[in-house]
Amino acid sequence: MLTVDFDRLAVREGDVVLDAGCGLGRHSIEFMKKGASVFCMDLDLDCLLKTRYTIASMMKSGNAHAKSSFLTHIGDALNLPFKDGTFDRIICSEVMEHVNDDFQACGELARVLKKNGRIAITVPTYISEIVYDAITYEYFTSPGGHVRKYHPSQLADIMRANGLEVYAVGFKHSFHTIWWMIRGVVGLHNGEHPITKGYHKFLHLGLMSKFMRRCEEFFNNFFPKSIVLYAWKK
């Protein structure tokens, strides 16, 4: 389940890339398939261990590009442990809405990106966040949860102020908009509710079905969960 379009990001074989806030490694895995050298970074050690295991297993089975490589690294988006101009490509997916100082986080991402390098930053859409906030107070009060809502122009202004020029915009995950509405109604932490479990199976079906993926692409035009801003470093 990719949020970022790798063709739009123009990922190339041999690129040195950063997956900032990699989670369970969905974008890191795609980087590996493209032949990039990936730094998988997150603050969550459990996520990093799972990501490392998944990618190592993929490489062992021959499902990764022969020229790809990876490192897992604990790191904070507000103080990235890398030199200036290290990376050709960066993905920062669903992170900025969690950090206390998004301007500083964006500045750090821009600092470690090479000149003319490209970056994709994804955040939840403003409308979806309003809906979830109206459904349940838990959405913005749970530990580790979201601390702000983004207008697209607001995030674009932050990126531009840090030397990143937006060249494309994408919308993703309309089916997940419904998923979070359901979870808000039945309880964010009630993963065993029959409706929650049933819709989760539907989401897995969508990943496996070309027809379902095309349907979701259509509905992304109306109620997307995430917005993706693609930019290059001037």
Residue % of the chain over a pLDDT of 90:
82
The CA radius of gyration of the chain, in Å to the nearest whole number, is: 18
Q: Pick the catalytic residue from 13, 30, 94, 192.
A: 94
Topology (CATH level 3) of domain 6-126+139-173+224-233: Rossmann fold (3.40.50)
Look up residue 64 and give its two tokens.
Answer: 């990764």
Residue 207 in this model has a pLDDT that exceeds 80 = no
Report how far residue 157's alpha carbon sits from residue 146's, in angstroms, rounded to the nearest whole number: 20
> What pLDDT digit, counting tens, does each position of 117-161 carry?
999 999 999 999 999 999 998 888 888 889 999 999 999 999 999
The mean pLDDT of the chain is 94
Phi, psi at 181, each rounded to 5°: -65, -45
Q: What's the DSSP call for residue 119?
A: E
Contacts of 139 (CB under 8 A, 6+ apart): 129, 132, 133, 145, 146, 180, 184, 188
Which region, left, alpha or beta, applies to residue 193 given φ > 0 means left and ψ of -120 to 50 means alpha? beta
Domain ranges of the chain: 6-126+139-173+224-233
- Of 26, 14, 12, 28, whose CA–CA distance to 71 is shortest? 28
* Helices 194-208, 210-219: inter-axial angle, 10-degree rounding: 110
Residue 61 in this model has a pLDDT that exceeds 90 = no
Mean pLDDT of 5-23: 97
pLDDT for the residue 107: 98
**Does residue 94 carry a catalytic annotation?**
yes
Position 199, amino acid? Y
pLDDT for the residue 96: 96
> What pLDDT digit, counting tens, does each position of 155-188 carry?
999 999 999 999 999 999 999 999 999 999 998 8
Residue % of the chain over a pLDDT of 70:
100
